[in-house]
């Protein structure tokens, strides 16, 4: 693991990795839980508690990972009483007082998931076994999230998912020790469909390019289901490798089809590259059957918009949160400005949705421990299940007990035609109320799997 600190505004500094090349055991053994303590994995014994932040520091989602690390660092500062306190001042719970977590100063270790499930599991395992992490968070890939969530369930630690949007994370692969604040594919489809119908009509033919892993699959399914229900026809769906950087060979066949909408179920660097290729092939200027050709990106962020540049103008998509919410839509989204101010003062630019969800998850974990009066994972689970809260930027929010999914409003966005600066690339089109994106726990898109029982690792 690497200890991480910030040496100057926006700059990450990492020390030398330890334990490189060591074979990792296939089961958890040794000091992680065999020593006498209070009966659960990595129970804090001294004056500190260690959290593990596992993010992509390389690979196609590295930009998101860098912003997640910035947010984690800020959350730890605020928990320890440093800085201006950020969302501790606006969080409805008011259980956190800046003295760490239950009086223990918060420390953290970091790892690089490489946007690969095996690497992410190895990194998380080392955090738990070698560094004593009692909670693991982070990630910008649903494949990574599902893999690490399963590992944390096995190990007996809490997993507070970072940026993971696949239905599977709180659907067929949900676990009792895992919790997701970020929204999901179904919610994107439910929020986007009415806007797409209003903007582009109900007589459309869609061609999907989809990242070949669990997030891509469930996002394609959600968008197809919601758009076909309003009258759209899906003319083709094509899977693309996560490692792909040039999508020209995938864009060319779109021109030979009768599609008049291209749906890019891509994220991070993949989306920047595929959108760029689509524009280079002239799709934005294309007309089919008298209709202007359109491109939709179901999930994107300010970071991706920055990478895509002018190509993002006019593109509709959805977000979990936007840094302009409170200024534009008022007190319902309180906490947003406090976080933006803290983050901006430290790093010199506004936070992304990835940064926001990771900051919030860290505070939610600390708050649950505090309210429960224990670091015991099962006590934390009990404190989070059914927890209703506000003041963390998304409006009133519920952590549903049935599946450990947060339910809150969803933001529909569009790339600005004439942005004022490099941080003002996305405009809020609509905020879809939580009731319109809520679904029953047994919805077909979330079928299979079971939370099971919480595991303390004892």
Distance CA 111, CA 126 (A): 9
CATH number, domain of 113, equals 3.40.50.2300
The reply to whether 151 and 223 lie within a common domain is: no
Give domain status of residue 36, yes or no: no
Model pLDDT for residues 432-444, shown as the tens digit of each residue: 999 999 999 999 9
Give domain status of residue 431, yes or no: no
Distance CA 351, CA 200 (A): 31
Give domain status of residue 273, yes or no: yes
Q: Is the predicted pLDDT of residue 33 greater than 90, yes or no?
A: no
Q: Is 83 helix (H, G, I), strand (E, B) or coil?
A: coil
Residue-level pLDDT at 422: 86
Q: What is the dihedral of CA 375, 377, 382, 388, to 10 degrees?
A: 70
Each as own residue / partner, the long-range contacts of residues 16-23 (CB below 8 Å, 24 or more positions apart, any chain) are 18/130, 19/126, 19/130
What tokens does 350 get? 């506004």
In 3D space, the residue among 128, 113, 117 whose CA is nearest the CA of residue 55 turns out to be 113
The reply to whether 221 and 190 lie within a common domain is: yes
In 3D space, the residue among 373, 402, 378, 406 whose CA is nearest the CA of residue 392 turns out to be 406
Residue-level pLDDT at 2: 40
Give domain status of residue 179, yes or no: yes
Give yes or no for a contact between 436 and 407, defined as CB atoms under 8 angstroms apart. Answer: no
Last residue of one domain, picked from the residues 319, 340, 356: 319
Terminal Cα-to-Cα distance of the chain (whole angstroms): 24
Give domain status of residue 61, yes or no: yes
Give domain status of residue 35, yes or no: no
The reply to whether 329 and 236 lie within a common domain is: no
Distance CA 129, CA 112 (A): 16
Whether the CA torsion 270, 71, 73, 392 is positive or negative: it is: negative
The reply to whether 331 and 274 lie within a common domain is: no
Domains in the chain, number = 2
The reply to whether 65 and 123 lie within a common domain is: yes
- Strand 316-319 vs strand 410-415: parallel, antiparallel, or unpaired? antiparallel
The reply to whether 208 and 284 lie within a common domain is: yes
The reply to whether 150 and 225 lie within a common domain is: no
Distance CA 97, CA 404 (A): 26
Q: Enumerate the H helices of 178-309 as residue ranges.
A: 185-200, 214-229, 248-256, 268-280, 302-308
Distance CA 52, CA 1 (A): 9
Supply the range of the domain harboring residue 336.
48-183+325-407
The reply to whether 208 and 255 lie within a common domain is: yes
Distance CA 283, CA 131 (A): 50
The reply to whether 203 and 311 lie within a common domain is: yes
Q: pTM score, two decimals?
A: 0.90
The reply to whether 206 and 311 lie within a common domain is: yes
The residue behind tokens 């500190």 is 48
Give domain status of residue 312, yes or no: yes
Last residue of one domain, picked from the residues 362, 392, 407: 407
Last residue of one domain, picked from the residues 319, 350, 372: 319
Model pLDDT for residues 133-177, shown as the tens digit of each residue: 999 998 878 889 999 999 999 999 999 999 999 999 999 999 999
Give domain status of residue 255, yes or no: yes
The reply to whether 148 and 239 lie within a common domain is: no
Per-residue confidence band for 421, with pLDDT thresholds at 50, 70 and 90: confident
Distance CA 405, CA 438 (A): 10
User: How much is the mean pLDDT over the chain?
Assistant: 91
The reply to whether 155 and 233 lie within a common domain is: no
Distance CA 75, CA 404 (A): 22
Model pLDDT for residues 90-138, shown as the tens digit of each residue: 999 999 999 999 999 999 999 998 888 899 999 999 999 999 999 999 8
């Amino acid at each position: 693991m690497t200890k991480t600190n910030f040496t100057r505004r926006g700059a990450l500094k990492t020390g030398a990795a330890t334990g490189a090349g060591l074979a990792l055991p296939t089961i958890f053994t040794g000091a992680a839980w065999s020593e006498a303590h209070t009966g659960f994995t990595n129970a804090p014994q001294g004056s500190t508690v260690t959290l593990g932040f596992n993010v992509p520091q390389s690979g196609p989602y590295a930009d998101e990972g860098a912003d997640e690390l910035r947010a984690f660092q800020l959350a730890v500062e605020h928990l320890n009483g440093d800085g201006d306190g950020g969302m501790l001042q606006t969080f409805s719970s008011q259980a956190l007082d800046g003295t760490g977590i239950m009086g223990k100063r918060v420390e953290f270790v970091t790892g690089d998931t490489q946007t690969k499930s095996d690497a992410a599991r190895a990194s998380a395992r080392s955090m738990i076994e070698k560094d004593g992490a009692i909670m693991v968070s982070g990630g910008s890939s649903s494949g990574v999230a599902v893999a690490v969530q399963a590992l944390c369930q096995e190990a007996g630690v809490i997993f507070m998912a970072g940026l993971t949007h696949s239905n599977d994370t709180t659907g067929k692969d949900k676990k009792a020790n895992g919790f997701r604040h970020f929204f999901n594919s179904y919610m994107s489809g439910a929020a986007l469909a009415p806007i797409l119908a209003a903007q582009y009509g109900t007589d459309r033919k869609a061609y999907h390019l989809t990242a070949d892993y669990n997030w891509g699959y469930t996002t394609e399914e959600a968008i197809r289901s919601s758009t076909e229900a309003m009258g759209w026809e899906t003319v083709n769906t094509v899977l693309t490798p996560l490692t792909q950087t040039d999508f020209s060979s995938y864009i060319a066949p779109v021109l030979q089809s009768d599609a008049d909408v291209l749906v890019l179920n891509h994220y991070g660097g993949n989306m920047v590259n595929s959108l760029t290729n689509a524009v280079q092939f002239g799709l934005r200027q294309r007309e089919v059957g008298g209709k202007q050709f359109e491109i939709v990106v179901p999930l994107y962020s300010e970071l991706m918009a920055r990478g895509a540049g002018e190509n993002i103008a006019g593109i509709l998509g959805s977000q979990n949160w936007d840094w302009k919410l409170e200024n534009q839509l008022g007190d319902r989204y309180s906490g947003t400005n406090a976080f933006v101010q803290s983050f901006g003062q430290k790093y010199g630019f506004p936070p992304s949705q990835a940064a926001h969800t990771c900051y919030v998850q860290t505070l939610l974990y600390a708050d649950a421990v505090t309210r429960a009066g224990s670091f015991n994972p099962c006590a934390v689970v009990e404190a989070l299940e059914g927890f209703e809260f506000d003041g963390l930027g998304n409006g009133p929010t519920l952590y549903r007990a049935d599946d450990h999914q947060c339910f809150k409003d969803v933001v529909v966005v569009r790339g600005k035609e004439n942005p004022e600066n490099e941080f003002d690339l996305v405009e809020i089109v609509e905020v879809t109320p939580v009731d319109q994106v809520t679904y029953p726990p047994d919805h077909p898109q979330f079928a299979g799997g079971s939370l099971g029982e919480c595991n303390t690792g004892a």
